[in-house]
Structure 1
Amino acid sequence: MIAPIVTKPEDIPVLFVEAWNLRCADYIADLFEENADFVNVVGIWWDNREAIRKAHDYGLTVIFKDSLLKLGKVKVKHLSEDIAVVHARMQLSGQSDLHGKAGTRNNMFLFVARKHPKGWLCVSAQNTDIVIGAETHIKREDGTLQAVDYRDRKN
């Protein structure tokens, strides 16, 4: 095991960011239970620790090899003594781009954590992009997604 023992659930995003910036997929995987789930920003769903490790190993060596992940606000909601939901704002820069330079992305992580005798582990995680000024997406006929805001629309 590479990751340190997680003594409180709010440490999970802290350690996730550290592991990401070290480009260490094994460290990321160690934060998860064996049968954990992880859903990425485009809805790809991995359903065990090894799949999570493999996906992050690929991502950190190809897509995000020069990236920097920064942690923002973290909020914990305890559902019980041994179950917690952790929301964490993050910012990602330096993503590899196929055509030029990629911009900085803001995202929201949701971690569901369970307390074990040797510390907290993540049961499930989901990563979502934050799209400033948008309420939802519309899928266009050509298959592209467009961020939209209905608030100023006249009915």
Structure 2
Amino acid sequence: MKKPEDAPSAFQAAWNAHDMAALGSLFDENATFVNRFGHYVRGIDAIVALHAPIHETIYSDSTLENELIDVSHMAEGVAVIHFWSRLTAGAAHPAGPHEVDTLILAVLTRQNETWRIRALENVTLTNPRSGEPVLRG
């Protein structure tokens, strides 16, 4: 990634190709990842290990569509981004085809001329009263 704004499309491309090596390459060696269920892992190997089994099974036919919301440059070589992410699960998912919207916050750092994700947290959009998933307009 040449700039922080590249992160949503790079993450989307790796996910949609179900390419875990490409997904892992987006992250800093000591990156942290919190998935939409609150599962926390640290390091590229753990991030890939979290995603590989679901890409072989329930999300093998899934796609993501990401949309950048904003970029905030915090210091030289450090940025925080937010982006929407719509997961479209296919027939491989036990619940069948459906969509889930999440909001992703990521901290990126620049290493030489490449930006990498240092921390990422993914939050499912839900109705706070019912807990039901919400799709944004």
TM over 0.5: yes
TM category (shorter chain) comes to 0.7 to 0.9
Greater RCO, CA 8 A, separation 6+: 2
**CA deviations over 1:124-146 (Å, ceiling 9, x no partner):** 00111112xx2x36xxxxxxxx4
Task: Tell me the distance in 2 between the aligned counterparts of 1:126 and 1:89.
Answer: 12
User: What TM-score do you get using the length of structure 1 for normalisation?
Assistant: 0.78
Of 92, 110, 113 in structure 2, the residue corresponding to residue 115 of structure 1 is: 110
Aligned residues: 131
| Contact preservation (8 Å) 2:8, 2:68 | no
Consecutive aligned runs of 4 or more in structure 1 exceeding 6 Å deviation: none
Q: Which residue of 2 aligns with 1:126?
A: 121
Read off the aligned partner of 1:57 and give its amino acid letter: A
Greater Cα radius of gyration, structure 1 or 2: 1
Task: Tell me the distance in 1 between the aligned counterparts of 2:77 and 2:22.
Answer: 22
| Contact preservation (8 Å) 2:4, 2:115 | yes
Question: The residue matched to 1:97 in structure 2 has which SS?
Answer: coil
RMSD, aligned α-carbons:
1.6
Shift of 1:94: 1.9
Task: Tell me the distance in 1 between the aligned counterparts of 2:116 and 2:19.
Answer: 17
Task: Tell me the distance in 2 between the aligned counterparts of 1:13 and 1:37.
Answer: 17
Structure 2: which 5+ residue stretches go unaligned?
A: 133-137
Task: Tell me the distance in 1 between the aligned counterparts of 2:80 and 2:100.
Answer: 23
Percent identity over paired residues: 27
